[in-house]
Structure 1
Amino acid sequence: MWRQLCRSSVRLLRFSWPTRSLGSSGAKDSRLASVQLQNKDVAMRWNNDRVTFLPYIFLRDNCQEPESFDQAAKQRVFNPAFVIDLNIKAKHVDMSKDGMQLCVTWPDGHRSRYSSVWLMEHSQGLPPETPKLPVEKRYWKRDHSVARFNFKEIINDDNDTPLSEFLLQMESHGLVLVDNVGTESNQIKQFCNRIAYPKPCVQGRDVTQVHTKLDDVSPYLNMEMPLCTSLPFYNYTPGVQALHCIQQLSGKVRFCDGFRIAEEIRETNPSFFQLLTQYPVHYVDSGNDFMDYDIESWHVPIGLNSSCTVEEIHFNNQARGSQYVSSLSSRLQEWYEAYYTFSSLTVSPQFLVELCLEPGQMVVFDNLRVLHGMPQGCLEMAYLDWDEMRSRARVIMG
């Protein structure tokens, strides 16, 4: 049931992410029909009559031979600036009879071989914002059904399929519920170690146990407070947060999709969207959890990539400092209106998803996208980074 839900709600991207193998039709189209040396590049005609070009400097720079490239590390083992003439030209080029390999001979006698699949993948480059994993981002609102996974299946080293599906679900939706974790301490550490390792922070070296009581000065106890992302006062904010319920909580855990809220503001009030994407907010925190610290950073509440797609959310009213950038001076009133709009939407019923997190369950969410609010109770908490999450997914998927 869990896997079926995951497969139905995650839409794989078949063509926009570089693949390492092609199907039968793709393999046929990736056969070279002919090649020709030109002034600055190699012209390649494919079986489907498509013609592509690759410059000599690019081909020599990306030589795949062992003396030039470490296939295990996927890294160069030479400095092209010291080895390659910018105006280098191929001396000779050969194509295998089956059209599946190209061999280029260079003026110094060095020979570089390239598979036709590699040549096709590199003949046109990738879009500026190619997905980091082959899965589409899916935004959600209150009617979202959160995907569920089994803890024991995820941590099973003998079967990577549940972990792979979990990682893709996190990439697409950013919110996952994990059952059968148990109530023993440090289960969350075992989970993190299955993927990579817990990210240390000022709250703890790996796993932090959080107790909230009625007399705690905690933003999570006031249900009217806006939801938030965690640790925005870090320059490199942890990308993923996991919360393991140890004892019964006093209420429901609340979540909202920050990406969906950002798009709502973009559609309904572009000027507010511009303010929240242009002016960074000062975030601060100080204390002495397991170490003394005084930490601060600046982040725009809504972070965009080069294609103006929402890529990160940094929103935490409690950690927001009083400093502001000088260029905002004349627009402070308007900025507050934009900020209030975002803040109010985080607690709007149309965007809220509420979960009854039971002892022995764990919720994992994208800390650069999903805002959360916690009731009273005892939880264990850990962070991961998206670099390691995506690395694990790529290793599993080959």
Structure 2
Amino acid sequence: MYARQALRAATGLVRWAAVGVPTAPCPAHTTLYTCWRASSSSVSAAVSSVTPHPPSTSLQVFWKGGGSDVYPYLWLRDNCQCPNCFHSTAFARMIPLDHLHPNTSPKSVQVSETGVEVEWTDGHLASYPADWLHQRAFDTTRHTHQQCLYKLPKKLWGSELSQALPTASFPRIMADDAALLNFLTAVEQLGVVVVRGMREGVGEIERLTQRVGHLKVTHYGGDGGDNLLADAFHAASHLRQHQRQHYHMLTDTIVDFEDIGTQGSHQYHAISRRPMIQLDHDGSLDRISFNQMVRSSVFQVGVERATAWYNAMLAFRDLVCHPQYQIKYKLKAGEMLVFDNLRVLHGRLGYTSSEGARHLEGAYWAWDEVRSRRRVLSTKLGQS
């Protein structure tokens, strides 16, 4: 995430903060999937019966509402929720690994009013609440809640967003947890939010950062004029639908990014290797690495694949540079631009000294910390 604040319209201080490592160093919404949010009252599972499931390495649980789910014995033993096996305050497993064996099996199993009770062959007694089991069923079609807890679904946008750019009030998100949660949710789903109502002077980004998490150390920065923003996830989705050969070339080809320089007295030589379009484990878009300046000249592929990759990259370039996928925004006094630096490509128009002196202040936030804050607030406010 990247945030940038303008404290004066023509002259003065400009600030930014970002979540994630830069991928492009300082160009009607479609939701990629739908979240199912569970609350304590949204699940009311009850067990009707249980039986060993062939080949006797798992337990089949039948629900009173119909249907059944199967749970491996090893998983059940590993995830016993008793005080000796699970720390209820730290939410951490305490069972030693040497307590697990390939032939783990129950000595007896019975249905209770609250769920399932198991006596294991090692003499250990365990109780598994029905709701707890139901939420952890080995059924990928019911794992949307966990997916949304991990990452919120993205809402794709194009030039139409310039007519309804999401905004947040700095005083409100500093004082109200619900406002902060709405702000973090919007940044995660849309990838860009303008924060308004910031005071002039150095230190406002640090205040907001302390409200969200911690600063992420980086040697990246930049300057320029008006902001150009493009939703690279939207462009990648278009490529996947209409130019699949180019899409797979960019998701399957590893590219080296090499950055060498000096910041103060610190010298750095950073190398990262990843495809330009990087996917998550489930095939969903995870990040875009579109960095012309630091893409290495060392390209460890064959000649034919290199040519095909360049053709695919240029097709992607044409998409993100098309006005259909771009918005332009000029920051006003007291505003800060916050955006997802692993998704939104950010560029700036030319800036001349005749427009007045400016100072750039910025920071990066780590997505792990931002999502952690969002989860904590969701639980606190009863929205998870």
TM-score range, shorter chain: 0.7 to 0.9
Q: Which structure ranks higher in relative contact order (CA pairs < 8 Å, sequence separation ≥ 6)?
A: 2
Q: 1:351 to 1:330 in 2, by over 3 A?
A: same
Deviates most, 168-177 or 278-287: 278-287
> Which AA in structure 1 matches 2:170?
F
Cross-structure match for 1:253: 227
Q: Which has the larger displacement, 36-45 or 109-118?
A: 36-45
Q: Please tell me whether the aligned partners of residues 40 and 55 of structure 1 are also in contact (alpha carbons under 8 angstroms).
A: yes
Q: Is the 8 A contact 1:154 1:163 kept in 2?
A: yes
Between Structure 1 and Structure 2, which shows a larger proportion of strand residues? 2
Check 1:315–1:344 CA distance in 2 against 1; reply closer, same or farther (3 A cut): same
Unmatched tracts of structure 1, length 5 or more: 1-7, 213-219, 221-250
TM-score scaled by length of structure 2: 0.80
State the match for 2:361 in structure 1. Answer: 380
Residue identity opposite 1:94 in structure 2: Q
Equivalences for 1:313-328 in 2 at 5 Å?
A: 313-325=288-300, 327-328=301-302
Counterpart among 357, 370, 377 of residue 389 in structure 1: 370
Deviation at 1:133, TM superposition (A): 4.4
Q: 2:46 aligns with which of 31, 39, 53?
A: 31
Say which SS state the counterpart of residue 299 (structure 1) adopts.
Answer: strand
Which residue is 1:355 aligned to? Answer: 329
SS at match of 1:323: coil
Cα deviation for residue 121 of structure 1 reads 1.1
Residue 223 of structure 1 is matched in structure 2 by none
1:135 Cα offset (Å): 3.7
Residues 133 and 171, structure 1, Cα contact 8 Å, conserved in 2: no
In 2, the alpha carbon distance for the partners of 1:69 and 1:300 equals 39
Shift of 1:112: 1.1
Deviations 1:156-181 (A, max 9, x none): 2xx31111111211221111111112
Deviates most, 112-121 or 63-72 = 63-72
Deviations 1:179-237 (A, max 9, x none): 1122221211111111110101234xxxx7x5x4xxxxxxx5xxxxxxxxxxxxxxxxx
1:303 counterpart = 2:322 = no
**SS of corresponding position for 2:159:** coil
Assess if the C-alpha contact under 8 Å between 2:78 and 2:95 holds in 1.
Answer: no
Contact preservation (8 Å) 1:93, 1:102: yes
Tell me: CA distance 1:341–1:53, structure 2 relative to 1, closer, same or farther (3 Å): closer
Cα root mean square deviation, aligned: 2.5
Q: Is the 8 A contact 1:279 1:328 kept in 2?
A: no
Q: 1:153 to 1:9 in 2, by over 3 A?
A: farther
2:373 is paired with a residue whose SS is: helix
Matched, 1:273 2:253: no
Contact 2:35 2:153 in 1 (8 A): no
Alignment check: 8 A CA contact 2:151 2:371 kept: no
Matches within 5 A, 1:52-63: 52-63=69-80
Equivalent residue number for residue 168 of structure 1: 185
Structure 2 alignment gaps of length 5 or more: 1-27, 352-357, 380-384
Closer, same or farther: CA 309–65 of 1 in aligned 2, 3 Å: same
Select the residue among 306, 310, 317 that pairs with 1:332: 306
CA change 1:9–1:279 in 2 (3 A) is closer
Secondary structure of the residue aligned to 2:155 is coil
Displacement of 1:378 in angstroms is 3.1
Q: Shift of residue 345 of structure 1?
A: 2.5
2:343 match: 369
Give the superposition deviation at 1:262: 1.0
Identity of aligned residues (%): 28
Cα offset, 1:125, TM superposition: 4.4
Q: Letter of the aligned partner of 2:312 in structure 1? A: A
What's the secondary structure of 1:357's corresponding residue? coil
> Which residue of the other structure, out of 72, 76, 89, is the alignment partner of 1:72?
89
Distance (Å, rounded) in 2 between the aligned partners of 1:294 and 1:183: 36
In 2: Cα distance, 1:37 partner to 1:335 partner: 52
What is the deviation of 1:369?
0.5
Identify the residue that residue 117 of structure 1 maps to in structure 2: 131
Query: With structure 1 as the length reference, what TM-score do the two structures score?
Result: 0.77
SS in 2 for 1:91: strand
TM-superposition CA deviations, 1:52-110 (whole Å, max 9, x none): 22122211111011211122332211323x1122212212223333xx23221122322
Q: Give the counterpart letter for 1:107 in structure 2.
A: T
SS at 2:338 equivalent: strand
